[in-house]
A and B are shown apart, each in its own frame.
Chain A
C-alpha cells in the first residue's frame, strides 16, 4: 500500500554517498558533449559557408549523421571498439595501455562522449550554417570590400549575428546531454564500472526499474526536472536579452 512519507525519499537520495558523483557525472557529460559538438559544428559551418561549388553535396554528407539514433551510434562504437575484437582497438591502445572500456571509467566516459558527439556535431553544423546563410549578402560583400580576414570576419561579424541561434543550440545541446546520454550510458557502460559513469537520469532509471524503489526514482526525476526548468528559464532570458538589442 502507498504511505505518505513526506520528504523521506529526498532524504534517502541526498544521503546516498554517491549522489554528488552522479551529479558531477551528469555535468561532465553535458559540458563535454556541448563543448565538443558545438565547436565541431561551428568549425564545419565556417568551412562550408565559404564554399560555393559542391555546397549542397557537403551539406548532405554532413547532415546524414542526423539519421543516426543514439542507440545505433552506441552499437556501432561498441562493435568498433569492443575489447579484443574491435577494429579501432590499435588506435585506442596508443593512448590507453590495456583497452578494455567496460572495466575502466575513463575509457567508458571517452566511448560515451565519442558516440554522443558523432551525431550532435551535425545538429550543430546545420543550425549554424543556416543561421550564417540567412544573413544579408550585403554584409558579406561589405566585409569582402574591407578585406576582412577569415577569422575576424566570423568572430566579429557572423557570430554576433547568429547569437540567437547559438543560444538555442546551447539549450538543445544541454537537454541532449542530460537526457539522451541515458541511452549511451545504458548501452555502453550501464553506469559501470562501480557506478562511475552513472548520471542523474540513469540513477533515476536504476532506482525505479532495477531496485524497484519507485518513490526515490520519481524523486530523482523531479530533481532533474528542476534542472531542466532552470535551463529553459535561462535560455528564455538569454534569447530575450539578445533580441532586445536589435
Chain B
C-alpha cells in the first residue's frame, strides 16, 4: 500500500515538474514586459494574456520586429509541414510498392541505395545542400562547360516554399516502413486482383493504399510532429520576412531574450502558439503516434 502511494506520488511529482516550465511561460506571456524586467510576474492577468494574443495576430506587435502577423508565420509553417508529409508519404508509398510487388533488375541495388540515403540525414550535408539550392542547375552548367560550351543556367530555390520543402522530402524511414507493411500484405488478395484483371495502378489506389491506411496514418502523425519541430533547414533557407517560419522567429526571439532585450511576453506567447498543433496531435492520436514510433524501430 505504502509502496503504491510512493509510486503514484513520485510519478505525479515528475509529471508536475515536466509541466511547470509551461506554467511559468503562460505567466510570462500574461505579464507586461516592464513587469518582467522588474522581476515581478505577480501582476500577470488574463486580460494582458489576451491582449498579447490579439496584438500578435491582428495588431502591430509583430511589426515592431518587422515581421508579418503571427498567423502568416504559422500558416507558412503549416504549408511546409503538410506538404512535406504529403510528398513523403506519396514517394515512400510508390517506392515501397515498386520494391515489394515488382521484380525488376537492380531491385536490391535500389533498396540499398535508399538505405544509404537514410543513413545520411540532412544534418550531415546541410552545407552542400544549401549550395545545391542556391543554384539547382549548377550540374548542367558544369556538364556543358566541360563539353566546351559556356552556359550559366540559374535557378535559385532559396527563400521560397520549394526550397523549404524539397530537401526535406526524401525519406528512407518511410520507404522502409511501408516495405515492411507491404511484405505482410496477404498474398491471396494480390492473386485475386490479378485474376480479376486489376491493373497495377488500380491495385495500388483501390486495394493497397486503403488497406494499409493505419500505417499511413501512424507515419503521418509522427512525421507531422517531426517536421513541425524542424529548426536547422527552415532557419538556413528562409531569410525574407514574408516566408518566415517559426524557426526564423525562434532564433530572432531567443537571441533578443539572451541579451535581455525586450519582447519577453511576445516570445512566451509565440512559444505557446507553436506548441499547440503538435500537442493536440499527440494527445488526440496518442495510440497511433506510439504505434508509428514503435513501427519505426523495427
Contacts and interface: CB of A to CB of B under 8 A. Distances in A.
* Of B119, B251, B293, B297, most A-chain CB atoms within 10 Å: B297
B167 interface: no
A193 to B, nearest CB: 12
Contacts of B39: 84-85
A60 B232 CA distance: 28
B18 A62 contact: yes
B282 A67 contact: yes
A188 B290 CA distance: 30
B14 A44 contact: yes
Given A85-B264, A130-B294, A69 B18 contact: no
B124 A228 contact: yes
Contacts of B37: 85
B149 interface: no
Contacts, number: 176
Contact of B14 (A59, A62, A204, A232): A62
Contact of A69 (B130, B228, B282): B228
Contacts of A54: 8
B164 interface: no
A75 B283 contact: no
A137 B24 CA distance: 42
B260 A84 contact: yes
A64 B7 contact: no
Contact of B18 (A77, A118, A221): A118
Contact of A187 (B254, B260, B297): B254
Contacts of A44: 11, 14
Nearest to B246: A71
Contact of B264 (A61, A77, A79): A79
Contacts of A187: 250-251, 254-255
A242 interface: no
A117 B297 CA distance: 21
A127 interface: yes
A79 B28 contact: yes
B52 to A, nearest CB: 14
A165 B275 contact: no
A208 to B, nearest CB: 4
A214 B131 contact: yes
Chain A contact-residue range equals 35 or more
A67 B8 CA distance: 24
B15 A61 contact: yes
Interface in A143-169: 165, 168
B217 interface: no
A80 interface: yes
B120 to A, nearest CB: 6
A183 B250 CA distance: 10
B180 to A, nearest CB: 15
B104 interface: no
Interface residues of B, number: 64
Interface string A195-216: 0000001001101110000100
A225 interface: yes
Contacts of B253: 75
B131 A126 contact: no
B282 A79 contact: no
A116 to B, nearest CB: 13
A179 interface: yes
Nearest to A82: B257
B250 A201 contact: no
B286 A60 contact: yes
A62 B12 CA distance: 10
Interface of A: 44, 47-48, 50-51, 54, 58-72, 74-80, 82-85, 87-88, 102, 118, 122, 126-127, 130, 165, 168, 175, 178-179, 182-183, 186-188, 201, 204-205, 207-209, 214, 217-218, 221, 224-225, 228-229, 232
24 contacts: A48-B11, A58-B11, A67-B278, A67-B282, A71-B247, A78-B257, A79-B24, A79-B257, A82-B258, A84-B260, A85-B260, A118-B21, A165-B297, A168-B297, A183-B232, A187-B251, A205-B126, A205-B127, A214-B127, A221-B126, A221-B128, A225-B125, A228-B121, A228-B124
